[in-house]
Amino acid sequence: MKKLLALALAATALAAWRPALAADLTEWRHGIIEPKSDAGFALIPLQERFTTPQGLHVTIVPVQSDQIGLKAMLSGDLDSYDGAPNSAIVAASRGADVKVVGCAWPQLVQGIFVTSDIQTLADLRGKAVGISQPGAMPDMVLHAALKDEGVPASEVRFASLGADADRFKSMVAGLIQGAVISTEFSVIAPPTIKLYKALRDVMPQFLRGCTMTSGKTIATRKEAIAHLIAAEMQGLRVATTDKALEVQVTQETTHAKPDDQRAAYIWDNATKFGDIDATMPLPLDKILWMQDLLLANGSMTKKMDISALADPGPRELALTYAK
């Protein structure tokens, strides 16, 4: 784990967005899912112009999945991380010290992609589909989508293939016949690959991205986590209104060519469909829905008190700092 985080810290794609060290700033280590064509939404809120006024020096740590972010936070390698809350819900139900403090992405921007010969998910029987890791968001939503269409998950072969780009490349190469990946790839997909369904339409209750920390951190550093949330709120206001800036940050971070339309596609859709909420609410109804989904697929064995997982205190404080 420490080796992974050390490598992540050295990622040159993020170096330009790390604030300069200042003695009077509180050190904070924050994990984000490895940047892709929505990178600007994750990185702009962590720029110096938002974090320094909040009294923070934030070290950005890219992680490959929600589960890795959770493990790094629980081990003390991170102070907080952004990701889908499903892994946090499961961990909390088993006694782990994890808290959800705000959700910037109330909807999914991913979709189910299939090869052109697939007409329904039933056609995936006996075929391979790509996920990131078992139990992570792509795995969860694929299982749920298969169940909705009456396809036993046991009749589909699940392949753990890392990040969205890895799964897309595997589809292009013909190694898998389906995957959950960001809808941005519809812009560059060859005729052999198509978007089957956008997940915001299939699972509108699924929370795509929340900020998680530990109860211990809230107890000992509540002001700091509140200031982080405030910086995220302020940065998201800019990212959701300044398309040119968000696209620029994304393209510079991902080393995309100037004519690459994926970042613009994500910005247009995220703002059009309300995929991002700069107020970072704590939608308990959606967290409860996700708990029911986790119970149904066997990831959890008993219900838990969601109020013990969702802590509104830091966000309430952040609202006073983000004006």
Q: What is the pLDDT of residues 115-140, one digit of tens each?
A: 999 999 999 999 999 998 887 888 88
Question: Which of 39, 57, 81 is closest to 211 using CA atoms?
Answer: 81
Of the candidates 181, 142, 185, the residue with the CA atom closest to the CA atom of residue 164: 181
100 shares a domain with 176: no
Looking at the structure, do residues 27 and 99 belong to the same domain, yes or no?
yes
304, 110, 269, 33 alpha-carbon torsion, rounded to 10°: 70
Are residues 229 and 90 part of one domain?
Answer: yes
Model pLDDT for residues 157-183, shown as the tens digit of each residue: 999 998 888 999 999 999 999 999 999
In which domain, by residue range, is 130 found? 110-202
Residue 191 amino acid letter: P
Q: Hey, what are 115's tokens?
A: 């090869």
pLDDT score at 140: 85
Closest CA to 73 of 54, 35, 93, 99: 99
Domain boundary, last residue among 168, 187, 202: 202
Q: Residue 149: give its domain's CATH number.
A: 3.40.190.10
Q: Which helix (H) or strand (E) holds 178?
A: strand 178-182
- As to burial, measured by CB atoms within 10 angstroms (0-12 exposed, 13-18 middle, 19+ buried), residue 227 is buried
One domain for residues 238 and 255: yes
Pairing status of strand 178-182 against strand 128-131: parallel
Mark which of 146, 174, 202 sits at the end of a domain.
202
Closest CA to 73 of 216, 209, 208: 216
My answer on whether 69 and 176 are in the same domain is no
Note whether 249 and 292 are same-domain residues: yes
**Do residue 174 and residue 262 come from a single domain?**
no
Residue 3's pLDDT band (cuts 50, 70, 90): very low
Task: Specify whether 23 is located in the same domain as 95.
Answer: yes
Q: What per-residue confidence (pLDDT) applies to 93?
A: 93
Nearest to 37 by CA among 182, 235, 180: 182
Same domain as 115, residue 97 = no
For residues 12 and 103, membership in a common domain is answered with yes
Claim to verify: residue 125 and residue 217 sit in the same structural domain: no
In the sheet with 128-131, reading across from the earlier edge strand, the strands are 157-160, 128-131, 178-182, 110-115, 193-198
- Among 179, 202, 225, the domain-final residue is 202
Do 145 and 238 fall into the same domain?
A: no
Give the predicted TM-score (pTM) of the model.
0.84
5 has a pLDDT exceeding 80: no
The count of domains in the chain is 2
Q: Is pLDDT larger for residue 13 or for residue 78?
A: 78
